[in-house]
Amino acid sequence: MSYQLVWFKRDLRCEDHAALVEASKLGPIRCIYVLEPTLWMQPDVALQHFEFIRECLHDLDAQLHLLGGTLEVHEGEVTEVLNNIWVASPFQGLHSHQETGNGFTYSRDQEVSKWCQSHGLHWGQYAQFGVTRGLKNRNEWQANWQKHMEAPLYEIHPIQFWEASPVPNSSAQCLTPSTMQAPAHLRHNPPLRQRGGRSLALKTLNSFLKQRSMGYRGGISSPLSAPDACSRLSVYLTYGCLSIREVVQATNEELLQTPPQASRKISGLSAFMSRLYWHCHFIQKLESEPEIEWRNMHRGYDALRENEFNDDYFNALKDGKTGWPMVDACVVMLRETGWLNFRMRAMLVSVAAYPLWLHWKPVGDWLATQFLDYEPGIHWSQLQMQSGTTGINVTRVYNPIKQAQDHDQKGFFVRKWLPHMRQIPNMWLFEPWNMTQEEQNNIGVYIGKDIPQPIVDIAIATKVSKDRLHARRNLSDVRAGKKSVIDKHASRAKRTGRKSSKVKTTESSPQLTLGF
């Protein structure tokens, strides 16, 4: 008996899983995950991503066992794996979710499509997010998003799983999540990162909807309150432990059930719903133009920073030794936890792009390895937006001294992650380089030894960089090129109310409110 092959990618769940359900309607199914060597050689991956996926696969395998099936983990390039499976036991169709990933997965999917065509196989690809493949006009996008989010969740009906016949062929052998081996070259697995799997994702969703959402408004900007106030669902959406549709519908249902007097909770859930909308809005940009992973969205900004990249500045940023306490503390937190709230992420990119004048691509590759919740569509759109190369967004420059004063007034955050700062008096906490030699001697902490000297004068360097960016922006051909970027990528969002039987969004400050 033949079967349908279900290929799990970044959709590591059984619930609301279109590929699984649609394939099961056609006959027995077989479920695989492919461990791709070339994917793990890309510059935007890290050991933390591998280990998180392994945890998700353990959970997914357990879910499939409850349904009567199992998950096979195959190692190799996808077309090679498909061919090996086909030779051993031909299948009738391939099913997976659409993926808006990095340049490698884009090219890989093109190869898979060619392989399916050459074998006369139908490849069913199903929408994972509210992203429209082949979108011709941005005016249609919001309605498409709304339709996807309002659609009923896919329900799991009894599934018939394919029963393998013994085949004396080594290519038929496969791994399990427990026997997967991380590539030896991978580094960076933060000790305090979130753990993977749907069961943890559901607990995180429930705790946010029921309790933590009350602190969302006003709590997500400070790195002190954000770890609890933010939903912390981003990584579970990235790897598909939850579908965004079930999160949108669960949030909308919680809004409808919340009494009017619970104003803080209503405000928090409404703001969160808005960000779920912007999540897909940004991913659509990469879906519509995959090249924004490696080239400027507005080509008028080409060669603005690329030819002046300062490796010393970049290394200081990566090492948390810029000399600006808020920046360095954020880098250390990111290194230890794999997570940082949006405002602090934006500040890191701003510091890289303006006073350090670093091009966004190398910075983006590094940050991708640091963010456990790295979502390519959001990541590269935000890197370009914060660096000023989209041509359609206002210049957003975050001064790390002001950010510290606004969001860490008593220095708890800075002192937590930078031990030497615990000795610094409050008056010098965010500008320790202004201490006199006598004051340094009194506390036994020295600028240039224990605490780095700022690598540039931030006021002067920021002004110079902004002047250079605005000079480029004011060129006639750059101004003329702005319209095409707006037509292709700008939002057409409309404001809507709160209470409704349908999924609604409550946008605020379009394109500037979404976290990475």
Domains of the chain: total: 2
- Let me know if residue 41 belongs to a domain: yes
Tell me which residue of 320, 311, 418, 331 sits closest to 371, measured CA to CA. Answer: 331
Q: How does DSSP assign 187-199, residue by residue?
A: ----TTPPPPSHH
| pLDDT, block means (10 residues), the chain with 516 residues | 94 98 97 98 98 98 97 97 96 98 98 98 97 93 96 95 63 82 97 98 98 97 97 98 98 97 97 96 96 96 96 98 98 98 98 98 98 98 96 92 97 98 96 97 96 97 97 94 90 52 44 37
pLDDT, residue 512, reads 38
- Let me know if residue 438 belongs to a domain: yes
- Let me know if residue 118 belongs to a domain: yes
pLDDT, residue 492, reads 73
- Cα–Cα distances (Å) from 247 to 37, 53, 231, 242, 503, in that order, read 32, 20, 11, 7, 11
Distance CA 339, CA 334 (A): 5
- Let me know if residue 278 belongs to a domain: no
The rounded radius of gyration (Å) of the Cα atoms in the chain is 24
- Let me know if residue 412 belongs to a domain: yes
- Let me know if residue 88 belongs to a domain: yes
pLDDT, residue 462, reads 97
pLDDT, residue 449, reads 96
pLDDT, residue 250, reads 98
- Let me know if residue 288 belongs to a domain: no
Distance CA 340, CA 220 (A): 10
CATH number of 122's domain: 3.40.50.620
- Let me know if residue 61 belongs to a domain: yes
pLDDT, residue 495, reads 41
Domain boundary among 128, 150, 178: 128
Burial of 318 by CB count in 10 Å (0-12 exposed, 13-18 middle, 19+ buried)? Answer: middle
Domain of 75?
A: 4-128
pLDDT, residue 507, reads 39
Domain boundary among 128, 155, 190: 128
Q: Which helix (H) or strand (E) holds 392?
A: none
pLDDT, residue 493, reads 66
- In this structure, how many other beta carbons lie within 10 angstroms of the beta carbon of residue 350? 23
Q: Sheet harboring 122-126: ordered strands across?
A: 71-75, 29-35, 4-8, 93-97, 122-126
CATH number of 459's domain: 1.10.579.10
Domain boundary among 128, 160, 181: 128
| CB of 4 closer than 8 Å to CB of 26 | yes
